[in-house]
Structure 1
Amino acid sequence: MTTPHDTTLEGRHAVVTGGGSGIGAATAAALLHAGARVTLMGRDATRLSAQRDALAAPDRINCVSVDVTQETAVTDAFAAAVTQLGPIDILVNNAGQAQASPFAATDTALWQRMLDVNLTGVFLCTRAVLPAMLERGFGRIVNVASTAGQTGYAYVAAYCAAKHGVIGLTRSLAREVATRGITVNAVCPGYTETDLLQASLDQIITKTARSEQDARDALLRQNPQRRFIAPDEVANAVLWLCTAGSRSITGQSISVSGGEIT
């Protein structure tokens, strides 16, 4: 019997995409601390290996290099993860990419890239784990979306469209598997202190000639708490959604944004 305070993930195998840095790395650390076995996935094998070594739990952590937009590569990567650490109980779809452009200057290549990385990757990775979760009658799927999936922002229409798609996928799949022991939720961070934030700042600086501090202040004004989110705050939300105490939470998009989305 579980209780609302049962936070152990002992015996569970979690896969975290985009696990080499930022929110993915923080999430992997939180899941590992809760007792899970963890597979880190991402494109940069060197970064993944460094993160695996930093977490210092060689018997409970593995890393697999993969581009989540490539169907065959995703299938092979998840098969390798199962071979290494056993059936997958938890999937955290964290891999993503953001690129700004005025809508009129957004070409089909940029549009497709944002959909491929941020939405199709979630679809492919989820499809790779779902059949076995259905067979075992248990699963936790957490999609790291964004406040850009809950509202609109200027100059990132393609990114917003993809992240809105992630939330739609989350809601639909949650209803489809609601009676099968599987929950599907989205966590939606606001601007978070990661490499992705720095890339956004660099784009603002390049396009507007603002100083970095002015660029940071412009983004901070969107957060009522006037601060950026820390990766571990997002990781804590993900962790909770993976524990027994959240088993009735499904189909939700939880904003971690200092009150920006209410």
Structure 2
Amino acid sequence: MRLEGLHAVVTGGGSGIGAAIAQALAREGARLTLVGRRREALDAIAATLPGACIAQADVTDRAAVDAAFASARAAHGPIAILVNNAGIAPSAPFAKVTAEAWRQTMAVNLDALFHCCQAALPDLIAAPSGRIVTVASTAGVKGYGYTAPYVASKHGAIGLMRALATEFAHTGLTANAVCPGFTDTDIVGDAIANIQAKTGRSADEARAQLTRFNPQGRLIDPAEVAEAALWLCLPASRSVTGQAIMVAGGEVM
């Protein structure tokens, strides 16, 4: 129980990678607060985590984030671990990306990190071993076509972690990103459906369009991403900061 008694806040904790990370942290003794917009999904995951609490919020809204984190503190005390997982991954040819779609992607994938990191910062700095782990993507270190807003936002997410790692290196706080390749989540399921709809390919053919990026020829399991995130949260990982850890089966960057 290497995280015994530590309070961890996980955004986007109601499904996919966020839920897997919450479960991994709970197994090591962390007290969990799950943050997200979908109450039903949060309730389902919280039911599997003894003592977990829920703070329903839109992480693009600073007032809602501040209220959610205050609720989290009231339930479990100061925040020692922040996992930024909430995200969206729209796709479109760059020429057809609207200003509204660009702004929405930045709001969820990048602005929300600013809100959550600032809201938790006093607690994280005061903690003996404060941790920020942001779920970025291989799209944060390379380019993919038809996903310009997503790629730009994930590059920004990694940049923010590197900036915080440098600024707070004199404290016990570390800031890192995990960068999954295409992972078996609802977001990738939506991408597969989108490929089918636009190209007429079968589900297997559409899936192959994504797994071809992974030399292992498969989608990443959310539990694999969760193990990497867990390692970054451990007190023993104090010398690992400002990093972008790839979980991508050897995908070339």
d(CA) in 1 for partners of 2:38, 2:215: 35
Matched residue type, 2:52: I
Q: CA deviation at 1:138?
A: 3.4
Q: Does 1:109 align with 2:100?
A: yes
- The aligned residue for residue 48 of structure 2 is 54
Deviations 1:172-230 (A, max 9, x none): 11000001110000000000001011011111111111111100111111100001100
Q: Which residue of 2 aligns with 1:30?
A: 24
SS of structure 2 residue aligned to 1:258: coil
1:88 maps to: 79
| Residue segments in structure 1 that go unaligned for 5+ positions in a row | 1-6
Q: Counterparts in 2 of 1:13-24, with a 5 A limit?
A: 13-24=7-18
SS of alignment partner, residue 176 of structure 2: strand
* Rounded Cα–Cα distance in structure 2 between residues aligned with 1:54 and 1:66: 20
Picking from 59, 62, 70, the partner of 1:79 is 70
- Give the aligned residue type for 1:221: R
Structure 1 counterpart SS, 2:230: helix
Superposed structure 1 runs of 4+ greater than 4 Å apart: none
Asked if the contact 2:81–2:124 (Cα under 8 Å) also holds between the matched residues in 1, the reply is: no
Partners in 1 of 2:12 and 2:252 — Cα distance? 24
Note if 1:191 corresponds to 2:182. Answer: yes
TM-score by length of 2: 0.98
Percent sequence identity over matched residues? 53
Q: Which amino acid aligns with 1:66?
A: A
SS in structure 2 at match of 1:54: coil
1:200 alignment counterpart: 191
Tell me the amino acid that sits aligned with residue 207 of structure 2.
Answer: R
Q: Is the 8 A contact 1:147 1:261 kept in 2?
A: no
C-alpha contact (below 8 Å) 1:255/1:261 kept by paired residues: no
CA shift for structure 1 position 131? 1.7
Alignment of 1:113-262 (within 5 A): 113-261=104-252
TM-score, reference length from structure 1? 0.94
8 Å Cα contact 1:15-1:90 kept in structure 2 = yes
Unaligned runs of 5+ in 2: none
1:109 and 1:199 map into 2 onto residues whose CA distance is: 20
- Tell me the number of residue pairs that the alignment of Structure 1 and Structure 2 aligns: 253
Query: How many angstroms apart in 1 are the aligned matches of 2:66 and 2:138?
Result: 29
Amino acid in the other structure paired with 1:49: D
Give a deviation string over 1:133-154, Cα, whole Å, max 9, x none. 2234531000000001010000
Q: Deviations over 1:20-71 (max 9, x none)?
A: 011011100000000100001110011101111133x1xx311111100001
- Give the secondary-structure state (helix, strand or coil) at the position aligned to 2:47: helix
Contact 2:129–2:238 under 8 Å retained in 1? no
Q: Is the 8 A contact 1:20 1:47 kept in 2?
A: yes
Cα distance in 2, alignment partners of residues 134 and 254 from structure 1: 23
CA distance in 2, matches of 1:159, 1:81: 29
